[in-house]
Structure 1
Amino acid sequence: MRPAYEFGDEVRVLRNVRNDGTYPGEATGALLIRRGSTGFVRDVGTFLQDQIIYTVHFLDSDRVVGCREEELQPADAPWIPSRFEFRDRVASRLPLAIQGRVLVQAGEIGEVIRVVRDQPGGVAYHVHFNDRNTLLVPETALIEAEHDA
């Protein structure tokens, strides 16, 4: 297990970082670092002997947080911002069909399972809709799900 980043490397975080209860002075679940933010690796360590954890200093917010390797990319790598992220609740903006068969009606709620940034038409998402398979849905076909009252 060799680290991809070293002390001083500038990295970008790929998803929002929220407090898991280990960041002092902030409520559990509070947003600490917004996806797309860049910072510098200050330390490299391991967790449970099988996960590399990087201590990253995000200068804009002056926060130091731990990030897993899969949450980071080099700061100079292409970055394509996305509207939604993992676990966001979304609604279909229009009926979703495969070969003319409608699988999801407009307005149905699903959950983002994965953000796919390398699609030819732009950002797309693996979205799970209840009682159906997970579908690959372009960003343009989704809207934010309304919050429950």
Structure 2
Amino acid sequence: MKPERFDEGRFEYGESVRVTRNVRNDGTYPGLDVGHLLIRRGSVGNIIEVGTFLQDQVIFTVHFLSQGRMVGCRLEELISADEPWNPSRFEFRDKVICTLDLGVQGNVLVAKGTEGEVMKVIRDDALIQYHVAFREKMLQVPETALEPAHPETFTEPEF
């Protein structure tokens, strides 16, 4: 049993945490372009250091072993690895294809195999859905009806 924590706003050295937002290079990670995805939302790492930025922001250095990266995260970007997490397979801007005809009342709006782009991830209890832009149409599509458009370059998320 974990000891009761009186300092709820902090994680301790070695503690396993999950990042709740995609972490992109803000220019402080060397060797990669600004905006490059460093760590995908849902990835688990371990706290290796606690520091401050601009004297008033607590920054946790988290080692994501499976990605081979150490990045700084703010408290609001982290939850305990033990907390419930509803993972999504796709993220904003991922290219996807529909695996079946999508339509309303028998009218096909988007044919099976059409490529689209994820515009928003919708998390609801156990069901993940997405707003997907298919050419000039925006549809809300369940995760089960989508596959990666380019599977050879797609990285499956950690679950």
- Tell me, yes or no, if structure 1 residue 22 matches structure 2 residue 37: no
Q: Give the alignment's TM-score, normalised by structure 1.
A: 0.67
CA–CA separation in structure 2 for the residues paired with 1:84 and 1:127: 11
CA–CA separation in structure 2 for the residues paired with 1:138 and 1:58: 32
Match of 2:112 among 103, 106, 111: 106
CA–CA separation in structure 1 for the residues paired with 2:110 and 2:125: 21
Q: Tell me the residue number matched to 2:90.
A: 84
Q: Tell me the residue number matched to 1:42.
A: 50
Q: Tell me the residue number matched to 2:61.
A: 56
- Tell me, yes or no, if structure 1 residue 118 matches structure 2 residue 141: no
Please tell me whether the aligned partners of residues 123 and 139 of structure 1 are also in contact (alpha carbons under 8 angstroms).
yes
CA–CA separation in structure 2 for the residues paired with 1:86 and 1:70: 20
Please tell me whether the aligned partners of residues 53 and 69 of structure 1 are also in contact (alpha carbons under 8 angstroms).
yes
Match of 1:138 among 133, 136, 142: 142
Cα-to-partner distance string for 1:6-43 (whole Å, 9 max, x where unaligned): 2537531135434343212x322655334422333724
Please tell me whether the aligned partners of residues 130 and 143 of structure 2 are also in contact (alpha carbons under 8 angstroms).
yes
CA–CA separation in structure 1 for the residues paired with 2:146 and 2:38: 26
- The runs of at least 4 aligned residues of structure 1 exceeding 6 Å deviation read none
Residue type matched to 2:140 in 1? L
Q: Give the alignment's TM-score, normalised by structure 2.
A: 0.64
Residue type matched to 2:117 in 1? E
Structure with the greater alpha carbon radius of gyration: 2
CA–CA separation in structure 2 for the residues paired with 1:81 and 1:129: 23
CA–CA separation in structure 2 for the residues paired with 1:136 and 1:69: 31
Shift of 1:111: 1.3
Residue type matched to 1:140 in 2? T
Please tell me whether the aligned partners of residues 86 and 125 of structure 2 are also in contact (alpha carbons under 8 angstroms).
no
What SS is found at the alignment partner of 1:140? helix
5+ long unaligned stretches in structure 2:
1-7, 152-159
Please tell me whether the aligned partners of residues 50 and 61 of structure 2 are also in contact (alpha carbons under 8 angstroms).
yes
CA–CA separation in structure 2 for the residues paired with 1:27 and 1:125: 29
5+ long unaligned stretches in structure 1:
none
Shift of 1:116: 2.8
CA–CA separation in structure 1 for the residues paired with 2:76 and 2:105: 35
